[in-house]
């Protein structure tokens, strides 16, 4: 319990500090309204404070009237809450470099309904691109849950971009500019976090579903459906469901948010009724929850008739009221002595904080950022875990109550035997009748002993089942940990594992004054090969190259996919000469790879940068990786297919 309180305190402090800091922070726009030089925009930079906007409540403005409007600018981001107005946004880009520039422009709010993108060079005619979740997913320019628009801007060219956005969801316009590689690296990190979250939710669903089939406790079924609805609701809100489950169901995509959020409230209310025994102990609150359930069921049926923006506002209010009521009931039942309610109250408090921050974000009370957009995931993950603890705690409490009842029965029986003994002393003339009574009592004790033995065996069987489920959960957790550090394409370690591994080896080398070598490897002209032969051929080349590198190493944990077509190798305790020899062996193996099944004329080479030596206490692993990276770039600049050393 002490650990739970500490985790909850940490979550409360983190939520308050980050939400407060995000509310008070201002975006610092360098030159809002001016022409943006693409080469000077950092990859991943938010363009919100640099974009002009104008509200169109009448829906009458057109692209031809944009030359006469007075654009406005906001330092607090382009988030305007739920509105019936259309909003227009404007950005102007230029390229004064000596080469063509390619970038990605991303809109990272996947539930916008209609997005019309108008682009032109100078005074040339406008070109129009239509996006939004009211179009089937396959119509997107880039297959991604967010709206990603490729930018090609020739040298000396100036492009004007104007966006028209019309949506029934919250009017938010988070726009960023990316280099292609940085975008996919950033997206891979986000997918890792999403995978962990939905993995936890899936584990909780299957684990508690197995428990339900074992103990036939209805609360476990309500809990499983509630967790499934919660995961589905967040999946729709983040665009994951639209990408993978219903890419052509544009109407259902909006409706699913209403239906799944209603399901969350409905099954959370059913769970609360049964878990806290409201029907018998708090009939007034039980009737209130029935009203909430009826309201949500009505909203589900109205989702085919009433506009989305009206229902979602009502549903958010109902959800907030239901959460506040659940927290109040949890603490009330806890104060009344129902011990299992402590986990329940803490769980809903955690979820309430996440839900409140998300709701305030949607109503434009606090700014939109990574924390305010994902706090509901953090809160809901903690909540479903704590609710699972609450179910187990209640099961244990019921078992303890049955045990106490048995002890009381034995005490009463002991008193009864004492009274019988005294009666025997007083009724000496009725010994035969007393002996018969004692015989009946002995038979009763034998029957009771048999009942206790049956109860003991049942308890042992239940404990064994709980132990088996715990072992299964630990096995699944180990598999998830291995999956999170393994690259799915090449089946070697990924960047996350490499960062931890190189830091540990670097610290050991400093402590032992031992040699250490870091190799960074990059496939030459991989983008050209990938574009020419396709992504499937590119994936096969990556797998073959990673296999060739592994054959030159003694330990597969030394190799990791660093990103894209880059690999990294850590050689602990290896001097420079040996490290260079291994690097040359890798280069030769890759050069000798046969890709006849793709193209008999195709040959792949690799450039390698090596940083080796004995690290000092003043060095860091990042410095050595940067040195190896510089050596890799020298190999590239000097003709590729070679090894360059930084000693």
CATH code of 242's domain? 1.20.1070
Cβ-Cβ contacts under 8 Å for 211 (sequence gap 6 or more): 217, 220, 391, 469
* Same domain (yes/no): 613, 538: yes
* Same domain (yes/no): 219, 239: yes
Q: Which of 66, 77, 71, 183 lies closest to 118, judged by CA?
A: 66
* Same domain (yes/no): 68, 128: yes
For strand 516-523 and strand 606-613, is the pairing parallel, antiparallel, or unpaired? antiparallel
Query: How many helices and strands in the chain, by DSSP H and E?
Result: 16, 15
Cβ-Cβ contacts under 8 Å for 593 (sequence gap 6 or more): 544, 545, 548, 603, 604
Q: Is residue 416 part of a domain?
A: no
Q: Is residue 24 part of a domain?
A: no
Q: Is residue 616 part of a domain?
A: yes
Whether 516 contacts 522, CB under 8 Å: no
* Same domain (yes/no): 81, 200: no
Continuous segment of H or E residues that includes residue 569: strand 566-572
Q: Is residue 407 part of a domain?
A: no
* Same domain (yes/no): 168, 243: no
Indicate the pTM of the whole model. Answer: 0.54
Give me the CATH number covering residue 123: 2.60.40.2380
Using one digit for the tens of pLDDT, what is the confidence trace for 12-29?
Answer: 444 443 433 333 333 333
**45-46 β-sheet, strand order:** 45-46, 175-178, 101-107, 147-153
Distances (CA, A) of 374 to 235, 297, 457: 12, 27, 46
* Same domain (yes/no): 319, 214: yes
* DSSP helix/strand/coil, 28: coil
* Same domain (yes/no): 196, 81: no
Half-sphere exposure in the Cβ direction for 465 (13 Å, CA) = 15
Q: Does 75 qualify as catalytic in the annotation?
A: no
Q: Is residue 411 part of a domain?
A: no
Q: Is residue 453 part of a domain?
A: no
* Same domain (yes/no): 287, 167: no
Give me the CATH number covering residue 638: 3.30.70.270
Tally of domains within the chain: 3
Q: Is residue 410 part of a domain?
A: no
Q: Please give the Cα distance from 365 to 632 (Å, whole number).
A: 48
- Which of 133, 156, 178 delimits the end of a domain? 178
- Which of 367, 383, 398 delimits the end of a domain? 398
Instruction: For residue 58, report the phi and psi dihedrals to the nearest 5 degrees.
Output: -90, -10
Q: Is residue 229 part of a domain?
A: yes
Q: Would you state the pLDDT for residue 284? A: 85
Q: Which of 160, 383, 505, 565 is catalytic?
A: 565
Q: Would you state the pLDDT for residue 370? A: 60
- Which of 398, 433, 457 delimits the end of a domain? 398
Q: Would you state the pLDDT for residue 179? A: 92
What is the rounded end-to-end Cα distance, in angstroms, of the chain? 54
* Same domain (yes/no): 569, 535: yes
* Same domain (yes/no): 319, 234: yes
* Same domain (yes/no): 174, 241: no
E strands, 577-646, in order:
606-613, 643-646
Q: Which residues of 586-612 are buried (b: 16+ CB within 10 A; e: fewer)?
A: bbebbeebebeebeeebebebbbbbbb
Whether 109 contacts 173, CB under 8 Å: yes
* Same domain (yes/no): 165, 285: no
Q: Would you state the pLDDT for residue 568? A: 94
Residue with tokens 């907030």, as numbered in its chain: 320
Q: Would you state the pLDDT for residue 12? A: 42
Q: Which residues of the chain register pLDDT less than 70?
A: 1-33, 339-340, 343, 348, 351-352, 355, 358-377, 379-384, 386-403, 430, 433, 476, 480, 557, 647
Instruction: For residue 222, report the phi and psi dihedrals to the nearest 5 degrees.
Output: -60, -40
Q: Which domain holds residue 516?
A: 495-646
Q: Please give the Cα distance from 331 to 337 (Å, whole number).
A: 10
């Amino acid at each position: 319990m002490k650990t739970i309180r500490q985790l909850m305190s940490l979550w409360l402090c983190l939520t308050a500090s980050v939400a407060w800091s995000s509310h008070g922070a201002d975006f610092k726009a360098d030159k809002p309204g001016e022409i943006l030089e693409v080469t000077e925009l950092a990859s991943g930079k938010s363009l919100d404070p640099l974009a002009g906007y104008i509200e169109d409540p009448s829906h009458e403005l057109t692209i031809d009237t944009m030359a006469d409007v007075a654009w406005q600018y906001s330092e607090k981001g382009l988030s305007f809450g739920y509105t019936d107005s259309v909003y227009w946004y404007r950005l102007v880009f230029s390229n004064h470099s000596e080469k063509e520039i390619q970038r990605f422009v991303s809109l990272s709010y996947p539930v916008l309904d209609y997005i019309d993108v108008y682009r032109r060079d100078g005074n040339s005619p406008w070109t129009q691109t239509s996006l939004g979740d009211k179009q089937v997913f396959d119509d997107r320019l880039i297959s991604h849950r967010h709206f990603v628009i490729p930018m090609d801007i020739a040298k000396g060219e100036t492009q004007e971009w104007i966006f028209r956005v019309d949506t029934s969801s919250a009017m938010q316009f988070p726009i960023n500019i990316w280099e292609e590689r940085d975008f996919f690296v950033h997206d891979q990190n986000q997918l890792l976090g999403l995978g962990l979250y939905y993995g936890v939710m899936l584990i909780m669903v299957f684990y508690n579903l197995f428990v339900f089939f074992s103990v036939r406790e209805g609360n476990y079924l309500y809990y499983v459906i509630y967790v499934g609805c919660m995961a589905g609701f967040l999946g729709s809100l983040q665009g994951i469901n639209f990408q993978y489950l219903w890419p052509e169901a544009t109407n259902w995509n909006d409706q699913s948010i209403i239906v799944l959020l209603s399901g969350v409230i409905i099954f959370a209310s059913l769970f609360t009724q049964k878990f806290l025994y409201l029907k018998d102990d708090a009939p007034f609150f039980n009737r209130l929850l029935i009203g909430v359930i009826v309201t949500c069921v009505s909203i589900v049926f109205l989702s085919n008739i009433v506009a989305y923006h009206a229902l979602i506002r009502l549903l958010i209010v109902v959800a907030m009221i239901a959460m506040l009521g659940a927290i109040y009931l949890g603490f009330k039942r806890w104060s009344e002595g129902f011990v299992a309610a402590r986990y329940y109250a803490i769980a809903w408090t955690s979820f309430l904080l996440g839900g409140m921050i998300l709701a305030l974000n949607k109503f434009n009370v606090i700014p939109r950022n990574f924390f305010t957009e994902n706090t509901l995931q953090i809160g809901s993950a903690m909540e479903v875990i704590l609710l699972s603890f609450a179910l187990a705690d209640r099961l244990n409490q019921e078992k303890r109550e049955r045990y106490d009842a048995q002890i009381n029965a034995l005490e009463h029986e002991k008193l009864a035997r004492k009274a019988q003994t005294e009666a025997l002393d007083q009724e000496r003339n009725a010994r035969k009748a007393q002996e018969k009574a004692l015989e009946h009592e002995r038979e009763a004790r034998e029957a009771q002993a048999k009942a206790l033995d049956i109860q003991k065996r049942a308890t042992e069987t239940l404990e064994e089942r709980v132990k088996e489920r715990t072992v299964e959960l630990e096995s699944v957790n180990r598999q998830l940990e291995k999956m999170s550090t393994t690259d799915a394409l090449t089946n070697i370690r990924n960047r996350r594992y490499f960062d931890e591994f190189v830091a540990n080896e670097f610290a050991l080398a400093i402590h032992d004054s031992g040699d250490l070598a870091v190799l960074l490897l990059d496939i030459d002209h991989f983008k050209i090969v990938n574009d020419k032969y396709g992504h499937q051929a590119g994936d096969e080349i990556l797998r073959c190259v990673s296999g060739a590198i592994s054959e030159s190493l003694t330990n597969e944990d030394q190799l990791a996919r660093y990103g894209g077509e880059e690999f990294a190798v850590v050689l602990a305790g290896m001097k420079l000469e040996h490290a260079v020899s291994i690097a040359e062996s890798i280069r030769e193996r890759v050069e000798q790879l046969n890709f006849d099944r793709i193209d008999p004329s195709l040959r792949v080479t690799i450039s390698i940068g090596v940083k080796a030596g004995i690290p000092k206490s003043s060095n860091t692993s990042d410095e050595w990786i940067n040195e190896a990276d510089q050596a890799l770039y020298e190999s590239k600049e000097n003709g590729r297919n070679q090894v360059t050393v930084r000693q």
